Amino acid sequence: NTESSAASDVYKRQGRIWAWGFDWSNIFTEVEDTTPYRRVDGNLYLQRVISGHWFGMANGTAQRNDELGLALRLSGALSLGYYLVQSSRHELQVTAGLSQNREWSTEEDQIEDNIEAPLRLDYRLYRYDSPTTELRVRGGYMPSLTSKRYRFDADISGRQEIVSDLFVELKYYISYDSVPPAGATSKKDSGITFGIGWSK
């Protein structure tokens, strides 16, 4: 059983009004006597403070998940968010919005368009004093507005800075799709990864 993972996270603030970021992960899993499969997740977002704890967010994602029969999913979303907790060590936010995506199946030349109403929670516990330590818990529920399908994903991760801006990370993830694309071997994909990443 061989699993490799690579991840990166870039984050930049401009004053206290705008923020943008990009995160990416690539997981390759090989189990004896089975076909290797890959899981890729990329997310680019732009966030703007509206007033007080309210903010707006636009993001685009690209995903691949062989186990769930997904060759590629491209999506764009607009969301409204609120910080339930925001301090020097804790951050808890909730977002809700609308998302449009297009999916390509791994098994057939099947293309599907979906409109979803994602609801997400994101909690962070961090220490900025060097070396930086961070614990993050994220979860999202994505019901479809165009079918009876729904998706769910969540992860919990901890990372520790070992040298300036270089981190080691341990992460557990799970994804569930009630009606996965053709070619799926399961409705659920989960695992544990260890990775090294760079963050600024």
Q: Report the C-alpha gap between 50 and 199 in whole angstroms.
A: 26
For the chain, how long is the longest CA-to-CA vector? Answer: 55
Read off the pLDDT of each residue in 165-179 and give the average, rounded to a whole number.
Answer: 92
Q: Report the C-alpha gap between 183 and 49 in whole angstroms.
A: 41
- Three-class SS string for 152-169? EEEEEEEEEEEECCEEEE
* The predicted structure's pLDDT at residue 187: 96
Phi–psi pair at 128, nearest 5 degrees: -80, -20
- The percentage of the chain sitting over the pLDDT mark of 90, rounded to a whole number, equals 60
At residue 1 the predicted structure's pLDDT band, cuts being 50, 70 and 90, is: very low
Q: Report the C-alpha gap between 181 and 147 in whole angstroms.
A: 13
* The predicted structure's pLDDT at residue 57: 96
Q: Is the confidence at residue 81, as pLDDT, over 70?
A: yes
For 109-161, write each residue's pLDDT tens digit. 789 999 999 999 999 998 878 788 999 999 999 999 999 999 999 999 998 99
Please report, to the nearest 10 degrees, the dihedral formed by the alpha carbons of residues 45, 50, 55, 58 taken in order: -30
Structure tokens that stand for 110 in this block: 């099947």
Q: Is the confidence at residue 64, as pLDDT, over 50?
A: yes
pTM of the model: 0.86
Q: Is the confidence at residue 195, as pLDDT, over 70?
A: yes
Q: Report the C-alpha gap between 75 and 103 in whole angstroms.
A: 9
User: For the chain, first and last CA: distance in Å?
Assistant: 33
> Which carries the bigger pLDDT value, residue 96 or residue 26?
96
Q: Report the C-alpha gap between 192 and 29 in whole angstroms.
A: 11
For 68-79, write each residue's pLDDT tens digit. 999 999 999 999
Please report, to the nearest 10 degrees, the dihedral formed by the alpha carbons of residues 11, 14, 15, 17 taken in order: -90
* The predicted structure's pLDDT at residue 2: 43
Provide the 8-state DSSP code for 145: S
pLDDT, averaged across the chain: 87
For 31-55, write each residue's pLDDT tens digit. 666 677 889 999 999 999 999 899 9
Contact 43, 61 (CB under 8 A): yes
